[in-house]
Structure 1
Amino acid sequence: MDRLRPDTVPFAVMAIPELEQLFGEPALPAASTGTARLLVVEDDPLLAQSLIELLAHPHRSFEHARTVGEAIATLKAQTFDLILLDYRLPDATGLTVMEWLCDAERSETVIIVSGEVSPDAAIGGLRRGAHDYLQKPYHPDQMRRAVDNAMRKTELERANERMRHQLEESGRLHRHLIEHSPDLIYTLTPEGRFAYVNLRVESLLGFRRDDLIGQHYDKLLWPEEHRQSRDAFRERRTGARAAANVEVRLRRHPVTDGGHEHGTPYITVMLNAMGMYSHNKDGNVLQPRFLGTYGVARDISDRKHAEELVAYQAYHDQLTQLPNRALFQDRLELAMAQAQRRGATLGVMFIDLDRFKLVNDSFGHTEGDKLLRAIAARLKNCLRRGDTLARQGGDEFTALLPDLSSPEDAATIASKILQELREPFPVAHTEFRATVSIGIALYPRDGNSAEALTQHADIAMYKVKSRGRNSACFFSAEMNVEHMERVTLERELARAVEQGELELEYQPKYSLSRRRMVGVEALVRWRHPQRGLIPPSEFIDIAEESGLIGPISEWVLNEACAQMARWRDMGYEQLQLAVNLSPRDFDRDNIVDDVCNTTQRHSLPPSSLDIEITESSLLRDTEGVARKVRQLRKQGYGVSIDDFGTGFSSLAYLQKLPVTSLKIDRSFVRELDGGNNRHPIVSAIAGVAHGFGLHVIAEGVETEQQVYALRAMGCDEMQGFYFGKPLPAAAITARLEQHQATQQGPSVFHA
């Protein structure tokens, strides 16, 4: 029989007097009466000390190692009963210590303690013989139980080790070990009936041993076991061909409580079995005679459960318990192979939540996680039995729709999802109406690979986003062309930033009361070598998504401030400069320092610069934006809210954000034509601005009627085509010189 590994024990230890009677010498004392030695391998001294204090016991001593090298050096010098091993150490992972223990044939019990969320750490530790795996942060009672169990395991292993040595001297001990083995040990007659089974069968399976003797082994096998497992249980072969490490399911005796069965109906064991033979001499030839089967079955149910849990976590999203990206990919590839054989159609949906970041920013990630789980449940209820809903990550989901009779089936499911989400979700102490953008791709029409189908569904989803969200659409070849053009434009934009293809134009701002130009707004343009002048509306969104907006904003700020310094040197010291910053710019911690450093580099007073932020910036991270706005105002810079009234902000933001100006969006100004001299939103914005002591600026002014209407509602500063289109710096300089020559602003402001 192969030598049992240390983790094959733990034997139920007999009473000490019984051992003394068997061997005629003092038995091995229980480890609890001596001092157990523990090694804590942890690079954080405070955490190590707290762990030692948590596990302190009069019969325990502790050593501490901070690195893998220090741990191995300590282990070379002395032995321990238990090692508490951190997974992530400064010089290597704890698996290196596990490998050293294995190579050195050491018997220390190991508990791995790790902050790793990946299942690889747990799998690696368990495969290398770790007794247990605890994930940080752990509960103190969890750690105590794990250590107590491990110490008991060590105690049992030591007792078993001594028993095995004494087994050579005592046949009586052999019988005792068999009876008290943690493994199920049995022998079968040639007909497959139990001739012997140890007591372990009673605690393991719930069957009385006496009731099994003489019964066929099929009584214990789970009915669904395959033929190979049945043959292994009644093994006839010996030597290398005998059954080894075969997983078999054994039936447990039903346990009833109040007429209802409870507990697991079967356990999984690792079976090792071989045939037993006697050899009779027939002349000069030894003839083997089959006596039956000898087998050992070890309960591995806990290990199987742990492996299944690790496998489940590797292929499922931990928040929603839905399949993750990897499992979705596997199922999609299988469904495509089946659809190809049958000539069938399947669909892939890419589902993205609209405005989900608003929930995280407003109510916190805990409420956001609750909302994601609730949305996942509703989405799943909208799908058919054979469909698969998966979470790609963040607020993105995918759905696999096999066996579609027509594209309309997918459209019906999408409509059902949109309808289902109309019912608001409870979030914190309020309600949130969630909407989604859904893109749909069909196989084989839209792609012949899982990657292509998912990508095309994603492209279709972004098309829905661009059209206003809360809808669904199918992928088309034209969308792919648009997507490729967008990818090309992104690549060329990165080159444009590096090669200086960006340039600035400046749109004048006029004051009616002062009858002159009082400022300019810097507007970025892209002069493409082949496409010509590209307006910001065609590339700013790409810049924000690709991360290029940071370098672009830095260039705009520096270039505009340099030009402003030149105008001030020419004597136009009262001119104000406005520069737009993207919401992404306010994600940077150093944005305030960048603004300050740029104005200082060009010797501009902060009061000459106005930073314009969009209303959507207020929704990204209210506290973070407010803090940075306060820092800018404290340094003396002006801050304006662009497109005020078009977003979701409330007047409460104006109390948190010490802004200096509000800009009326051109969409409201446009409605002042056609005899409509008053507009309720424009009047409200002007009233709010005056109430808070803020400047109010109207943009997009194009007609004289709009000018008079805005002036009547209390708006003094304006910009738009009526006063002048965005112009290069030289043209603005010429206009400033013209106004200076006349010593007054013109009575008619438009260019």
Structure 2
Amino acid sequence: MVIPGEAPFISASSDGFSPTDSACRILLVDDDVALRTTLPHVLAQPGRSFDQCGNVQEAIARLESQHYELILLDYRLPDGTGLDVLDWLAGAKRDEAVVMISGEDAIDAAIGALRRGADDFVRKPYHVAQLQRAVQNALHKALLERANLAMSQRLKGSERLHRYLVESSPDFIFTLNTGGQFTYVNPRVETMLGYPRQYLIGKSLAQLTVHEDIGRVDTMMHEAINGSRSNQSVELRLRRRDPGSGKPGSSAIPVALNVVPIQGRNPNGPGEVPVGIYGVARDISDRKRAEEIITFQAYHDQLTHLPNRILFKDRLELAIAQAQRRGGLLAVMFIDVDRFKLVNDTSGHSEGDRLLRAIAQRIRDTLRKGDTLARLGGDEFTVLLPDIAHEHDAEIIARKIHAALEAPFELKHGSFRTTVSIGISVFPRDGEVAEMLTQHADIAMYQIKRGGKNGYCFFQPDLNQHHQERITLEHELRGALERNEFALLYQPQVSLSQRRVVGMEALLRWQHPKLGLVTPDTFIQVAEEIGLIGEISRWVVDTATAQLAQWRKAGFDKLRLSVNLSSHDFDRDETIARVQNRIEEHRLSNDCFDVEITESVMMRDTDEVVARVQRLRECGVGISIDDFGTGYSALAYLQKFPVSSLKIDRSFVSDLDGPAATPIISAITGIARGFSLHLVVEGVEHAEQAERLRRLGCDVMQGHYFSAAISAHEAERWLREPAALIH
């Protein structure tokens, strides 16, 4: 096809062009209607679409509502020139490609068009291929420009994002040159370390590093610059700025530092070489503090902040190793607080905790700088005394501890005096390993406990034998109830005036398969310590009440029976409830069954203890104070506790010839009469004692002068034939 005044049409494909444009809108601006109709066919390509108009005004109107990839613009238009359109495009900052078509011969038209932003200028008449090539080139150029613009915008956006991330990062980000000097630092350094950004430029990383970590920084720099390691992570401490001098100060923070080499062109050959270092330092102060807290909690007691069992063992093993190398001595103390349970029971656990902290502080103040005080748990402490010249040194420390605890502790409910029992073992005499030294000190401490508490004792080999016997006793005692090895014996209580048995005291015995008949003095304390006393007391109550019911059915309806309960039985309701149930079950009348308690129970004087004693009295059980006069007897307790009987201790009977015994017995007798209490004297061994006690006003007695503790069958003989048996 030949356009009038133009060369014949040549196919676009024959000139090497291929249709690569998609969704390409082209605006034809020409007042020649025939040309506007022909050009869309000539320039047709897949994806191309054409709009057309015939003057400047229409062109601008279309451009205001539509964007085009290309404008084919005639120079001469009815209402102006194509230059007017170019001016509008420039003013509107549009990016359409423009190919100016003109029949003007003057070069000024082409220059004016190109200066105003036209991409090409085609002079009429033109060959179709020339126009096609101009269109293709203009579109291709516009495509490249848009691609470059988009890439540039993406790069700028990426750069802005990267800079934002770096500048606002919570980490200290920096770059170093090959000499280790800062070339860039982000703002985080100002809040993390306190330095202005510009202050650090040109300074070396080593200047900020604490002295002990500088070697690690030098190694890191060397490996990074030499390319031996591409990525490194290290923890070190960076010094904070001293506000006074403005220079690195003594305070430092721990950081996790990650560095990678910055690669650059190799000036001496092909490839790349490290030209600097990119680093990120993260403040790990919180993590370090958390680790320290976790570590502290793992190795320290939470209440007193003393070393715990694990840390004490580690330090003891280290001290043993050092003592072995030097041929020296060390000592281990095992400390147990006496009567600590009384504080918890009477004042509460919070006051008990306060007391433990105060005790720990006083003990710590008596020790040397290199000694270790640890809390094993509860009211137990251990002390490591390394580097002692003689075992006498440990004795001196033990005395200091006792002296430090002499002053009372101020608790919420008043002052409290406490004592401790201390066991001591010495290396290497008492053991060469940590476990053995601690165990032997523990054994020595129990020796003090059994001997009356409030003292200290060195471990002796025979104590180990006693300890093993104690362990064996504990093991055998746990199965004694199941094997039915306990028995109750009965000691008659005789009224001299009536010459008959008025009561029986039930006495517990353990029929041991090897040791024979074992008295309570041997095993009751053990039973209390291992938690068996409740079961034993309930068995005693069951057996005694059943026996009393049997005797009363046999006609001995005026007989009284007493049993001994442990002070631990008044810490809980189980045994008290058992007494109530058995009294009701056997229908025992009031005041025929007595429970003997020690004065230590009254000394506790808590609401719970008083309430449990009152419960026993309400169900008809008598309360007898055993060994009256040997402890902290006070008339106030007799008024507060619903007591029904007093028992004069055997120690006053055995010392009747002494200067104080007779007045004391007379006083106790008067107290019993004054409070209308039943009175029993125990430990009567011969007739002279019985006669003197009778003259002092005592009537009911028990002891070997009358009868030892006997079986229930033998006791019944006393009930049936008292006159024949009483002297």
Tell me how far apart the structure 1 counterparts of residues 653 and 248 of structure 2 sit (CA, whole Å): 73
Q: In the alignment, what sits opposite 1:732?
A: 715
Give the AA of the match of 2:184.
Y
Determine if contact 2:501/2:718 at 8 Å carries over to the other structure.
Answer: no
Match of 1:272 in 2: 258
Q: Deviations over 1:20-42 (max 9, x none)?
A: xxxxxxxxxxxxxxxxxxxxxxx
Alignment-derived partner of residue 589 in structure 1? 573
Structure 1 position 503 matched with structure 2 position 491: no
Q: Which residue of 2 aligns with 1:340?
A: 324
Are the equivalent residues in 2 in contact too, given 1:232–1:243 (CA < 8 A)?
no
1:233 is displaced (CA, Å) by 6.6
Question: 1:427/1:593 Cα in 2 relative to 1: closer, same or farther (>3 Å)?
Answer: closer
Aligned residues: 574
The match for 2:506 is 522
1:288 is matched with: 272
Deviation at 1:245, TM superposition (A): 4.6
CA distance in 1, matches of 2:416, 2:576: 34
Following superposition, the deviation at residue 508 of structure 1 comes to: 0.7
2:666 to 672, 679, 683: 683
Q: Is the 8 A contact 1:236 1:276 kept in 2?
A: no
Give distance in 2, aligned partners of 1:267 and 1:377. 32
Which among 697, 704, 724 is matched to residue 687 of structure 2?
A: 704
1:488, distance to aligned residue in structure 2 (A): 0.9
Which string of whole-angstrom CA distances, capped at 9 and with x for unpartnered residues, describes residues 261-311 of structure 1?
99981111111111112243877xx44322111110111112211221222
CA distance in 1, matches of 2:206, 2:415: 59
Residue 319 (structure 1) aligned with residue 303 (structure 2): yes
3-state DSSP of counterpart to 1:497:
coil
The question of whether the paired residues in 1 share the 8 Å contact of 2:225 and 2:275 is answered with no
2:192 pairs with 1:209: no
Amino acid at match of 1:721: H
On the 8 A contact 1:323/1:389 being kept in 2, the answer is: yes
1:35 counterpart residue number: none
Checking the alignment, whether the CA contact within 8 Å between 2:234 and 2:257 is kept in structure 1 is: yes
Partner Cα distance (2:693, 2:411) in 1: 40
Say which of 348, 357, 362 aligns to 1:373: 357
1:710, distance to aligned residue in structure 2 (A): 3.4
* Most deviating of 233-242 and 707-716: 233-242
SS in 2 for 1:607: coil
1:598-637 equivalences under 5 Å are 598-605=582-589, 607-619=591-603, 622-637=606-621
Bigger Cα displacement from structure 2, 526-535 vs 185-194: 526-535
* Preserved CA contact (<8 Å) 1:583 1:620: no
- Please name the residue that 1:183 is paired with: 171
Report how far residue 181 of structure 1 moved: 1.2
Decide whether aligned partners of structure 1 residues 423 and 599 sit closer, same or farther in structure 2, where only a CA change above 3 A counts.
closer
CA-to-partner distance for each residue in 1:460-499, whole Å, 9 max, x for gaps? 0111122222221111110000010111122122232211
Larger Rg: 2
One-letter identity of the residue aligned with 2:592: S
Cα drift, residue 230 of structure 1: 4.8
By how many angstroms is 1:168 displaced? 8.8
**Secondary structure at 1:169 match in 2:** helix
Structure 1 residue 242 displacement after superposition? 4.5
Q: Distance in 2 between matches of 1:301 and 1:621?
A: 53
**What is the SS of the residue equivalent to 2:183?**
strand
Partner SS state of residue 268, structure 1: strand
Partner of 1:580: 564
Q: Which runs of 5+ in 1 are unaligned?
A: 1-165, 740-744
Match of 1:28 in 2: none
Compute the displacement of 1:621 (Å): 6.7
1:695 maps to 2:695:
no
Alpha-carbon offset, residue 609 of structure 1:
1.2
Q: What SS does the corresponding residue of 1:266 show, helix, strand or coil?
A: strand
Query: 2:158 — aligned with what?
Result: 170
Unaligned stretches of 5+ residues in structure 2? 1-153
Instruction: Judge conservation of contact 2:493–2:503 (CA < 8 Å) in 1.
Output: yes
> Aligned partners of 1:240 and 1:642: how far apart in 2?
88
Number of the residue aligned with 2:381: 397
CA shift for structure 1 position 560 = 1.8
**CA deviations over 1:550-592 (Å, ceiling 9, x no partner):** 2222222222222222211221111111111112222232222
Aligned with 1:421 (options 396, 405, 410): 405
Change (3 A) 1:433 1:676: closer
Decide which moves more: 224-233 or 415-424. 224-233
Kindly state the Cα deviation for residue 505 of structure 1 after the two structures are TM-superposed.
0.8
Equivalence map 1:43-442=2 (5 Å) = 169-225=157-213, 227-232=215-220, 236=224, 241-255=229-243, 265-280=251-266, 286-428=270-412, 430-442=414-426
Change in 2 beyond 3 A, CA 1:687/1:230:
farther
Query: Aligned equivalents of 1:553 and 1:388: distance in 2?
Result: 42
- Residue 19 (structure 1) aligns with: none
**Distance in 2 of aligned mates of 1:315 and 1:473:** 28
CA–CA separation in structure 1 for the residues paired with 2:712 and 2:196: 98
SS at the partner of 2:480?
helix
Question: Which has the larger displacement, 324-333 or 292-301?
Answer: 324-333
Following the alignment from structure 1 to structure 2, what is the Cα–Cα distance between the partners of residues 451 and 643? 42
Separation in 2, partners of 1:240, 1:489: 70
Q: Could you tell me how far apart the structure 1 residues matched to 2:156 and 2:703 are?
A: 102
Alpha-carbon separation, structure 2, partners of 1:242 and 1:642: 86
Question: Quick check: 1:250–1:268 contact (8 Å CA) kept in 2?
Answer: yes
Partner secondary structure for residue 671 of structure 2: helix
Identity of aligned residues (%): 54
Question: Aligned equivalents of 2:351 and 2:649: distance in 1?
Answer: 33
- Counterpart of 1:646 in 2: which secondary structure? coil
1:204-249 Cα distance to aligned partner (Å, 9 max, x none): 1111111111011112112232623553477607999545552211
